[in-house]
Structure 1
């Protein structure tokens, strides 16, 4: 099937694809056909293609890369005779006019077919054609490409017009003449030369050599000074009839002043003033000598010449003007943008009117294989001009793209299954493609690198995998195993750097030094043990992280001091209690606060007072954030403290184990204040929801929550030296009336002042008195005495 038949069938069925949009060309679409390759495309697509790929007023056909200047604007039939042809099913082909094809051909005969896509068939008309030399005439087809020769000698006159062609009869012009011609010049020297026989030299036997003629003129006294020329020579220019003035031309000569050409020409004695061949137009210099014969000497003056770009100028001797014209240059760089718009002209003293970039573009074309070979330009590079005229098929050959195929075109998509055989012998699960096959995704059963476990969900393409567990293989030291995550290949065989786990004989802690001994041997003497231990004071109030060696040193000093004390008192030395594991870490000394707590505890035991709401630390250590927030917003801090106090009291009285309270939404600083304050109440705090609706929920436990001894506001007030005067304490008279019994021991408060702060001790019934409202008596007894304390109670 020819291209014409294939295009006709595809256009009639609407199956032809546009090379630009890859959509089908329907019978009613406006189309455009290339005059070179006859490809048919959408008119709208080719217009966009032409306007976007226009480079220097030209654009290329997307199929054959033929250059065009005019952008298509009209929809015409395939032969171009009818504008916007109408499609009638069954009447004529799609996008044709139905008339005789009027497409222009190389011969004068019209096409015999109706309007059609694709190239016209060869012309079948019979014409009379002569052979190459014109000796014979034959009747042949107009489209015949066979050479017409008769076999005789050509004999046609060559280009020189003198010789004839000696080749056999042939078509086309004859070759150039290969003969030579001997020529002699006109001057008396009679120089000769041999030149090729051409249209100019054929039949010409003389030439002008360019030297002075040298023939004696008709006057007999002078010779011809003109260049070599054909005779005769001109008349002598020194004859009296030719010389009318003095040599400078300013004074007329008398009629009888000269009789012959040999007589001297009278001089006028004035300045010559002839214009010299120097200086710019309109500003020439003149000869400054007196009137003289012969040519004027060179000008001794200087002329100001501008550089090529006109930026500067300089003086040049007039004698050097012929060589300096257009050669005076300055050192200023042009710095104008070139035609590409990317580079700048860096030429010194540039006088160019158009700055065309001479750098090769070199950008990668859309085919991703070749680079742009044009000069640097604006806009996108033109499509790759390379075209292949071989069919492009998919890997299996089921799908084909017919030529011409643009460079960079991908193989056609194919839905058939891939026909390549995998090394693993698993069937492919992907379609036909170009390039390497994707990894096999069939799930198989494989073991990990370290042979720890077996998994059944490993893709076939994955050779090995890591289970994520420690390797566990024994190292060369014999005491450790590989701690790396399950890995491929052998474990490190170098020196083991893991810490030695042999226990020290002094403290029982691991050696912790890098592995330094072989299996079965003991550790050598090592540095002091630096493992941190938690040291406390004897009352367990103070604690600190210390190195084991420092703690052992202090313990040894304590033992030595204790032994010295026992020996000085004459008693026996028994350090068994001190050397117990629990007592070996009590190496810190108690401070004043420890002594205050010890005295407070002793007083509480002596008075048999217990208050579960008083924590072990009478002055809680609030963080800096809590202190800063309370100092900045005391009302907010007091509100949160009261709400947490109420929550803890409710949890203590409730039958449920826990009670919770949800605070309203607030910023993160206030939420942090609640979180840290809950730690002093023994409550759990959790934040919920996202910003800006994030809030905190506090949960109090009946058994684990407590009330702090002092609020943060009270701590700040005490540190600031402020004291609050408490209310009066009413004591009943000695003789109590039955209506108002004397207060019992359980309702009295004992306040003890000691070093380090105030401590408030309440009775056993204080919790009930705090959690429940006090009943008011019917008639208050008269007050016997009012006592004021220096400081308010801390609880």
Structure 2
């Protein structure tokens, strides 16, 4: 029993812990939950180490509570009184009279159970009825334990419970850089998602814009992205080359997918929540993001926001001219453009004579612009000109001055210097001169052949030439010198230029479809234009070429052929230059106010680039978009209820504010309404219906006075003849004719008599004398031929057979109306197999009868089936007079039925009828 009592006391001491909340938060009972009656003080067995440590913690907390209560009497709680003080839980609910928190805080709790090693209550026990006794704990000055003697417990002052201060929300961060502000605001629960307006916390999955660095939830930006993409797909059926979407923070156009959640630097994908020692959503590694104008990566720890400017020193850079060097901070160093020292460049220019006088500059110094004196090659013209315009200097001899000089340009004059013969002069343009005159090209030693070069002069002259002035003979052969166009000169051997080519050639038109004859004229031929109009589509896909004799028509045909064969990778890049549309698009943009000003293009037009600088409000005016807004922006969706009232006077259905072109929900109330024709008052009709209809035929007399309106319930004045003039309607007349008694089929003609002058087209029935055979013919009766002659039908063999049967029945005293034919045209095997599977057999019988009635079908093939089914088909075909056979092997064996010479028709009785007869 002592062990049971001890365990029971321990259970009682542990019972107050039931109200303790999870984690580091405390329950309503305050800071400690130790028993207040000292029931653990008299135990005979020593407590364990964990129990002892818990007891020490509870004793210390109790002493602190007693000391605090003695120092602050205003907050002390008298023994045995109910406390109105709330617990430290944030969800405090006012004073508690008999709740769990009141019992723990206000009065000491006594236990009726005995503890192990119990003893009589002493002075300490009496004094401790209203005080909180300390839990057993280790102590250096504890008295020696003697079995059988009471254990004196020493009470220690307890510290009263303390109240948690209300949590104060920290203000927004005021740090200088954006990244620190984002870190502090997320850490202090001060950063809101721009999409859902919920807090972005350390454990959230986030996404950050690379332009404005706005941080939102990953799931929010994914929905944001998907909604914009879905809206774009609905507005345009053709896919876009590049899809762009708006950033929820800065409205900038982004083309990259939001992707998955990652740390700020992007190294860690789907990371776990960062510990408190790191910034929120940081992986703790070095950022290492590349800077756009700096070769050094970011050295900071993984952070939000933009990377700060580089603080390192840049490399030593020489100026453009190389005379000076400079070293600056990396962020101040211009790696792309370099720097200039503003001193004179001084580099040697390409002429090799002058130096650059420009200030220190990038790139080449350029051509030399110095003005210099220049002399032509022949020495007759001297002038000043820019240095870079001079040609290659060449040594030339000045005849008048008899001196050498450097010529640097051509004056374009003829040389006209006499050759060594003194009779002929040089006919070339300005060129460098030699000191001695040139040898005459017409001298006998220079000319050895005729002008065309085919015949030696020895064959043409009896006496050789002795002077340059002697004539040069011509041969009778064609010149055949090659002309610039590629043809050969057709003239006879001659001196001087060959002249123009007069060769007749075949020239193709510009598109290459037709060819015409033309004179060569030295090959300078323009292609003629044919009258063929090009019908190829331009690059925009909207316009056609329409040019006469288009040079790109053949290319367009080849492109279309390659496209049909799926050999063309890209439609836009392969379009020939002649078929690129350069017109203005001019299509109406989505805004409805402007036209597309881009060059004509494929696919949907871009959004309107204009902006609206007025407020855009919803229909009720309570939701407003402030300017500027993109042109075509629709009024915003309003979250308030619509203010319109229905005209019927019933309460309106609650719904959100909407645009004026959208109607409010229909009134759902049911009312009584008269139908449109006024014959019946209808109940439970929806209020929003403008008219109610009873569904009855109108029945009012029409203008003709003969017919009634056949329209269903309608408003007055809307009968069939409402739009007709005169005393007639659109129905058929229907009056009985005088000569044939058929109804008149003409359109209603009012009270006027029917016109029977034309033959009646109604059907009449004629029969043979016995009445068995009948035939429908046209009546053909008219006012001029009341009894028209008709063909006579004669009796046939069937009539004779029926007449013979009637006579035989009369002779045998048989009543034909009650007699039944008991003949069964099917075999017993067929009937037995039919009974075994009636539903399937009836289906096959119907197919047999359809096959038998079809004159064009001669063969019927069935699917593979079992032996029993095939047997039924064979015996049924035998009864029908059809031929049948089985083909293929098991399990693919099937039946084929075809019409043979024995087949006449299907039996008159079905298998079901024969089963009933048997």
- What band does the TM-score fall into relative to the shorter chain? 0.3 to 0.5
Q: Which has the higher contact order (CA 8 A, sep 6+)?
A: 1
